[in-house]
Structure 1
Amino acid sequence: MSLLLAIAAQAAATQATPAAVAPDYEKDASWICLPGRRDVCSTPLATTALSKNGYGSNGLSTIASNPKLDCFYVYPTVSQDRGFNSDLKPDLETGATLTQFARFAGVCRTFAPIYRQMTSAAIGAAALGRDLTPNFEVAYGDVRSAFRNFLATRAKGRPFVLVGHSQGSWMLQTLIAREIEGKPAARQMALAIIPGFNVLVPEGKLVGGTFASTPLCTRLGQKGCVVAYSSYRTNNPPPPGALFGYAAKPGFTVACTNPAALGSRGWAPLDSYWYTRSELPVPGGPISWSSEGKPPTPFVRTEGLASGRCVNAGPRGYLEIRTNVTPGAKWTDRIGGEVGLGGFFIPGWGMHLADVSAPQGNLIRLVEAVAR
């Protein structure tokens, strides 16, 4: 009950103010990231390797000089703006782009539009039953306009990869269904990476449900397919009615494609990039990344600290994540990802905040593979 009251208080404190004027995507100022300029996607990220033996080498993420692909990114729900649609002054939106998307600049040209997303207050209002269809259409209309501008004036026939998370993945789901499937753009779409929002498929199938003709990816290098999943900690599967990882529609399940092992149901080590300066709550308290002390850079890369496997059991479909505890190791045996609100962690959201960071290195390799 306390969690519900916290959501209610957040929603009630916000008045539904009119949405800002629609952005003009002909203007470079309407984009967080664009090729050929200095922004968060063209700034190398300082990263330290962290293994069971402790901290290793420090380095900077790479910026590809002549990549074969373009990547079009839509960020998740981060806006704390008043009203149910955000303004067009990015702040937390830039931070999300930095941590989730900037590293993709090593394999593709990066495009990230600013859009009037549904705010965190809108999500709270939706949990209380408010119809947010008009607010969704405002947000989606911006993403559609940005994508059309991208296709017409920026991509110019180049293959592209869609990248999103949470609300961003919802927007891209809708974009695929309305603007890509059955249209010329389908031939340009090399891959869609859309974790953190349910893609529904009939149980035992790879296509149908959310998408009419776009299948789930089952092998490295496969083109025109979708990578989708929602993360849950091992031994903590999605409860009935969970927002992520549980299909309410009879006969359907939530899609899971393991970025570390497409088409497999077995455990696979994850190549993770963690933002160590995050102040978000973590079960068990703040993480001590290594017994050697604080990380020397804002990001650490861990290979094999966590593993993941896809689970589909009736309506449930999710990426199960476990931490590989190594006795005597100098690295942590804990990772975060749960969403905290009002002193609680929301059980039906799983490890939502780790959807991108836990397998980020694997996701980047998927883009490399379709580029080849």
Structure 2
Amino acid sequence: MRLFLIAALASATSALAEGPAPDFANDSAWLCRPGRSDACAVPIAVTAVAANGTTRPDALPTPKMAPQIDCFYVYPTVSTDQTPNSDLVIDAAERNVARVQFAQMRQVCRPYAPMYRQVTLKGLRDAMTGQATTADRAMAYQDVAAAFAHYMKHDNQGRGVILYGHSQGSGVLKALIANEIEGKPAAAQVIAAWLPGTNVLVPEGKPVGGDFKVMPLCTAADQAGCILSWVTFRNTATPPASARFARTSQPGMKVACTNPAALRGGKAMMRAILPAGPSIVDNSTPVPVWASGASVTTPFVSLPGLLTGECIDEGGAQRLSIITNADSADPRTDEIGGDVIVAGQVQADWGLHLIDVNVALGDLLALAPAQAAAWSKLRQAAQ
């Protein structure tokens, strides 16, 4: 991981070509910050759709007037800029992903989300199709590292913080933890790191020692200073040998799987909070009819009892397996979406990547206060 910073320095010429690095002293360099009318201050109401088709408001955690903890969020690959790396202009794509994945967290923490020059969807597609690309992942890392350093110096003020990413964002945070947090003073402020949608490697049968040398995987809700990571697939789909997630070729290593709904293992009902409209990217998938005859007017929907999740290790692939408890006789939908679709074809190697976060969002909202309390208890004991 330390080599990542060397690569970042080597990319300085490329960074100049993409424009100046962000100045995180400027308000415009942040997608979300506390107390603003921004991408994280949007409506987040949820409608629960029961199996019998009836609907009711689904309560989110009561918002804290002055949350005692922070969340530092790095969004996934969503930029529609037609360059290998994105600019720093807040577009509809960035606003939408913050709405879908992060706005709800304002109920439990102060929201911080930096803009960064991420590898764009175009850059990702070029790499996937074998085309030449100048996409620079080190540039993305540099921006987030600078944002975190600014946050720690000017905003943190000794508060606990949850590091929260998805996909490319989780990958960047994985490097940030290895380079700038583990073994350094910032580690004392980290309540937990939530890193869905990327492969976090651990030695077989051990909770720590692969990608991270100090921070272990979380195995209980009342544990702090630990890592959550998972990649999501339907229980009916074994990740193919070419899968981007859930598999590793590194000897003795496994891909971490921590189910936010069942950190001790086993099956559990997932408290999914799904977008009632577009997902984190537009893949032309029709929005489901959540239940015949039901009207959903809120931006989010929950489907109590529909989804069960379990971390499994089968066929050489470690993943969060999602079971849809379907009943064709009831009026509620049995479709949840979440697949990556290219040219009308489901990409099996991605699994349910588009809903890695939302399939467990209700569980994360419940987990944040528990982990924060555990962190606070550890801090008090150390004083």
TM-score normalised to structure 2 length: 0.88
**Separation in 2 of the partners of 1:295 and 1:64?**
27
1:73 maps to 2:70: no
CA deviation after TM superposition for structure 1 residue 208, in Å = 1.3
Q: Deviations over 1:161-220 (max 9, x none)?
A: 011100000010011000100001111100111100000111111111111111110011
**Separation in 1 of the partners of 2:201 and 2:345?**
28
CA deviation after TM superposition for structure 1 residue 29, in Å = 1.3
User: How many pairs were matched up?
Assistant: 355
Q: Deviations over 1:9-30 (max 9, x none)?
A: xxxxxxx993131110011111
Secondary structure at the counterpart of residue 303 of structure 1: coil
| Range 195-204 or range 307-316, more displaced | 307-316
Q: Deviations over 1:271-297 (max 9, x none)?
A: 0111121274588x6422111234222
Instruction: Report what 1:4 is aligned to.
Output: none
Instruction: Report what 1:223 is aligned to.
Output: 224
8 Å contact 2:85–2:136 — kept in the other structure?
yes
What residue identity is the alignment partner of 2:276?
T
8 Å contact 1:203–1:314 — kept in the other structure?
no
**Separation in 1 of the partners of 2:340 and 2:275?**
16
Secondary structure at the counterpart of residue 54 of structure 1: coil
Aligned-residue identity in percent: 43
Instruction: Report what 2:4 is aligned to.
Output: none
**Separation in 2 of the partners of 1:191 and 1:133?**
33
**Separation in 1 of the partners of 2:284 and 2:224?**
36
8 Å contact 1:51–1:330 — kept in the other structure?
no
Q: Deviations over 1:285-344 (max 9, x none)?
A: 642211123422221122221110001247411000011123543321111111001221
Instruction: Report what 2:137 is aligned to.
Output: 136
Check 1:174–1:315 CA distance in 2 against 1; reply closer, same or farther (3 A cut): farther
Q: Deviations over 1:127-174 (max 9, x none)?
A: 245787871111110000000001000111111001110000001001
**Separation in 1 of the partners of 2:206 and 2:154?**
37
Check 1:230–1:74 CA distance in 2 against 1; reply closer, same or farther (3 A cut): same
**Separation in 2 of the partners of 1:208 and 1:88?**
35
Secondary structure at the counterpart of residue 163 of structure 2: strand
Instruction: Report what 1:8 is aligned to.
Output: none
Check 1:355–1:21 CA distance in 2 against 1; reply closer, same or farther (3 A cut): same
Check 1:133–1:217 CA distance in 2 against 1; reply closer, same or farther (3 A cut): farther
**Separation in 1 of the partners of 2:330 and 2:69?**
39
Check 1:200–1:315 CA distance in 2 against 1; reply closer, same or farther (3 A cut): farther
**Separation in 2 of the partners of 1:267 and 1:22?**
45
**Separation in 2 of the partners of 1:18 and 1:298?**
39
CA deviation after TM superposition for structure 1 residue 371, in Å = 2.1
8 Å contact 2:86–2:119 — kept in the other structure?
yes
Secondary structure at the counterpart of residue 144 of structure 1: helix
CA deviation after TM superposition for structure 1 residue 77, in Å = 0.1
**Separation in 1 of the partners of 2:58 and 2:305?**
19
CA deviation after TM superposition for structure 1 residue 347, in Å = 1.1
What residue identity is the alignment partner of 1:111?
Y
What residue identity is the alignment partner of 1:251?
G
8 Å contact 2:58–2:302 — kept in the other structure?
no
**Separation in 1 of the partners of 2:86 and 2:253?**
33
| Range 35-44 or range 90-99, more displaced | 35-44
CA deviation after TM superposition for structure 1 residue 42, in Å = 2.7
| Range 323-332 or range 85-94, more displaced | 323-332
Instruction: Report what 2:196 is aligned to.
Output: 195
Instruction: Report what 2:51 is aligned to.
Output: 52
8 Å contact 1:35–1:109 — kept in the other structure?
yes
Instruction: Report what 1:339 is aligned to.
Output: 340
**Separation in 2 of the partners of 1:121 and 1:248?**
27
Q: Deviations over 1:201-258 (max 9, x none)?
A: 1111111111111111001121000100000001212111311111121221110000
Instruction: Report what 2:369 is aligned to.
Output: 368
| Range 110-119 or range 290-299, more displaced | 290-299
Instruction: Report what 2:24 is aligned to.
Output: 25
Instruction: Report what 1:107 is aligned to.
Output: 108
1:206 maps to 2:207: yes
TM-score normalised to structure 1 length: 0.90
8 Å contact 1:234–1:322 — kept in the other structure?
yes
Runs of 5+ unmatched residues, structure 2: 1-14, 374-383
8 Å contact 2:30–2:112 — kept in the other structure?
yes
Instruction: Report what 1:251 is aligned to.
Output: 252
8 Å contact 2:278–2:287 — kept in the other structure?
no
**Separation in 2 of the partners of 1:59 and 1:350?**
27
Instruction: Report what 1:238 is aligned to.
Output: 239
**Separation in 2 of the partners of 1:190 and 1:176?**
13
Runs of 5+ unmatched residues, structure 1: 1-15
Check 1:27–1:286 CA distance in 2 against 1; reply closer, same or farther (3 A cut): closer
8 Å contact 1:44–1:60 — kept in the other structure?
no
8 Å contact 1:159–1:188 — kept in the other structure?
yes
**Separation in 1 of the partners of 2:96 and 2:172?**
19
Check 1:51–1:17 CA distance in 2 against 1; reply closer, same or farther (3 A cut): farther
8 Å contact 2:84–2:134 — kept in the other structure?
no
